[in-house]
């Protein structure tokens, strides 16, 4: 039965990976039943707190203290300080960890507070994280708050797809263009973060940019009446 619960956590991790997120999953189990399941959705939701364990606890809903005190939290990766704090706050007595090869969290703190921590070094859990960290080191460093020397990352709350045209131009989805008021012809700087990851930065408008377009639109808006201009051929 315990293997079934870890498999459920792994399923959550793989779901997160398929969404473009970090493959960490978790389930909260009480009396042989899964109360809540979740996965790391920091990237998908633009959240700083939705680690796998936090997502599982949130999806379990508010429980009485006696339920938490008789529950087990399964997680595919050793819990970070934030998730460790949630375990201690709710008095969860047992945590089953899929692996701590990639990251060893605050297991010592949990044990010092009487929590039974079991690390099983599941091969699937290890492979998921090892492959992910190798492919996306920058994103992983963001998740564990490790310095990578980069600039702050801003992410949209919803993930969208785009493509490169035959001329090498990047197509910005209409939803973003409308929401941010992006017009045709605007310029962007592009920065390569790592293989497969790029950052687009909208350039600031130049002084008086757009004034001519505004003036040309004035006749239609009845701001002034157009008149025929005098010839300047002799000037």
Catalytic machinery residues: 53
CB contact at 8 A, 173 and 161 = yes
| 182-213 residues labelled b (16+ CB within 10 A) or e (exposed) | eeeeeeeeeeebeeeeeeeeeeeeeeeeeeee
Q: How far apart are CA 10 and CA 13, in angstroms?
A: 5
CB contact at 8 A, 102 and 129 = yes
Q: Which two tokens stand for residue 55?
A: 């997502």
Q: How far apart are CA 202 and CA 118, in angstroms?
A: 48
């Amino acid at each position: 039965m315990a293997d079934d619960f870890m498999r459920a956590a792994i399923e959550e991790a793989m779901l997160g990976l398929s969404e473009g997120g970090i493959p960490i999953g978790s389930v909260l189990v009480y009396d042989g039943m899964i109360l809540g399941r979740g996965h790391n959705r920091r990237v998908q939701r633009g959240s700083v707190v939705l680690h796998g364990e936090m997502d599982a606890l949130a999806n379990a809903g508010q429980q009485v203290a006696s339920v938490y005190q008789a529950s087990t939290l399964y997680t595919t990766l050793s819990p970070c300080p934030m998730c460790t704090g949630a375990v201690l706050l709710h008095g969860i007595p047992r945590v089953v960890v899929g692996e701590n090869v990639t990251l060893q969290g605050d297991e010592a703190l949990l044990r010092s507070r009487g929590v039974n921590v079991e690390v099983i070094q599941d091969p699937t859990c290890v492979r998921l994280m090892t492959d992910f960290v190798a492919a996306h080191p920058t994103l992983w460093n963001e998740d564990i708050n490790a310095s990578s020397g980069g600039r702050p990352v801003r992410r949209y709350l919803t993930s969208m797809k785009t493509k490169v045209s035959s001329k090498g131009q990047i197509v910005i989805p209409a939803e973003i263009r409308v929401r941010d008021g992006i017009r045709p012809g605007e310029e962007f700087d592009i920065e390569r973060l790592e293989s497969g990851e790029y950052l687009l930065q909208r350039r600031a408008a130049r002084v008086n940019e757009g004034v001519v377009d505004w003036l040309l639109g004035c006749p239609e808006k009845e701001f002034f009446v157009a008149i025929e201009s005098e010839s300047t051929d002799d000037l």
